[in-house]
Amino acid sequence: MISRVQRRPSSNASGYGLIELLIATAIGCVLLGVLLQFAVSAHTSAGVQSETADVQQRLRVALESMRRDIVLAGAGPSRGVDRGPLANTLPPVLPARTGSTAPDPELSFQPDRISVMYVPDDGPQAQLAADMPSASAPVVVDGTVAGCRSASACDFTPGMDALIYEPSGAGGAYEVFAVQAVDAAASTLMPGATLSRGYSARARVAAVVRRVYYLDRAAKRLMRYDGARSDVPLVDHVVDLRYSYFADPRPDAVAPPASGASSCAYAGSPPVPLLANLGGTAPKVLTAALLTDGPVCGQSPYRFDADLLRIRRISVRIRVEAESAEFRGGGGAFATSGISRSSARTVPDLETTMDITPRNMLR
């Protein structure tokens, strides 16, 4: 009989399989760790990139909105007599909040606020038909001048903001009023409130655009106000905003008055300029003191400093931060500290300066 011997697996073969399994497991764990680290890194990178893009986009929106309005500052009536830039008479740019709600006092300076005014080229424009007998009288426009349709009150409509001013040289009377009602047949506008004075037949009336940009520091918002009804946030997480004003340094930068006329920027006969000589020929920055010390122009409650009439360039400096605290750290790169402890997971505040030259304020 042939005996059969049953072979058992050797311990050497069994041990060799276990070692291979352990090595494979170790390699798998290392690869899994690398993949997890890569996934976390990719997630962090994507978050940082998204937050950076958001900060840049909010900065672009703020700059473009302000640039668009400031570059138009000072545009005046384009039709009829006494047409031309507003800066020949009144300040199209003020370093303060103006308008019907919470305006700053006359002759004030606020570095984080700017008010801009201009007449749109396609808006209603007219001249008074006669002297106003009183400040409370309706505004009667000359509906027969070129550009005005018959029996249309020159296309003024209720609810429209209108600028009325005396184009008699630097420092003439002016104000903005809301058109409450219109009598098209009689070419009559009824202001929503009594004006500060009665205006002469030479006064101009035109639809006007007002824009006030200011920083709500408590809420960290760039705000935009239309001078009347709309006061809304434009961009969130704005942590700083500064406006600087550059002026023609010459004392005669403001146009002199016509022969026999007077001006708040000149005195005597022949007229001598009253503005300070800032030296040189390049635009010089106007300090808060220069913009509030006179000579004083206009009539209350719309008085202003004559130096505002020689502004030629405006500089806007703005700083925007990341919206989420998880992308903000500590130190000077962040106006508001966040909770991030890794430099790879932070988005520093973005700050830039933009210089704007209002084309209607050049001479």
336 occurs within a structural domain:
yes
Higher pLDDT, 170 or 102: 102
Helix-strand-coil split of the chain, %, nearest 5? 25, 25, 50
Residues 6+ apart with CB under 8 A from 175: 163, 164, 165, 195, 196, 302
**Domain of residue 341, residue span:** 53-120+208-361
What confidence score (pLDDT) does residue 2 get? Answer: 47
> In this predicted structure, which of 6-10, 46-50, 61-65, 94-98 has the lowest mean pLDDT?
6-10
Q: Which of 12-16, 21-25, 79-83, 225-229 ranks highest by mean pLDDT?
A: 225-229
Mean pLDDT of the chain: 89
Structure confidence at residue 1 (pLDDT): 46
Question: Regarding predicted confidence, which is higher, 154 or 82?
Answer: 154
pLDDT at 13 over 70: no
Is it the case that residue 12 has pLDDT exceeding 70? no
**Structural domains in the chain (count):** 1
Flag whether 151 is in a domain.
no
Residue closest to 87 by CA, chosen among 101, 73, 97: 73
Q: Say whether pLDDT at 11 is over 60.
A: no
In a domain, 186, yes or no: no
Name the most confidently modeled range: 76-85, 158-167, 336-345: 158-167
- The predicted pLDDT at position 5 comes to 47
User: Mean pLDDT over residues 119-131, rounded?
Assistant: 94
44 falls within a domain: no
| 161 falls within a domain | no
Cis peptide before 270 (omega within 30 of 0): yes
Q: Is residue 324 part of a domain?
A: yes
Cα–Cα distance measured from residue 74 to residue 162, given in angstroms and rounded to the nearest whole number: 15
192 lies in some domain: no
Q: Rounded to an integer, what distance in angstroms lies between the CA atom of residue 241 and that of residue 65?
A: 14
Query: Model confidence over 173-226: pLDDT tens digits?
Result: 999 999 999 999 999 999 999 999 999 999 999 999 999 999 999 999 999 999
47-51, 103-107, 140-144: segment of lowest average pLDDT? 47-51
* Residue 307 clears pLDDT 80, i.e. is over it: yes
341 in any annotated domain: yes
What CA–CA distance (Å, rounded) separates 27 from 48?
A: 31
- pLDDT of res. 65: 97
Cis peptide leading into residue 95 (ω within 30°): no
| CA-closest candidate to residue 214, choices 183, 256, 243, 248 | 243
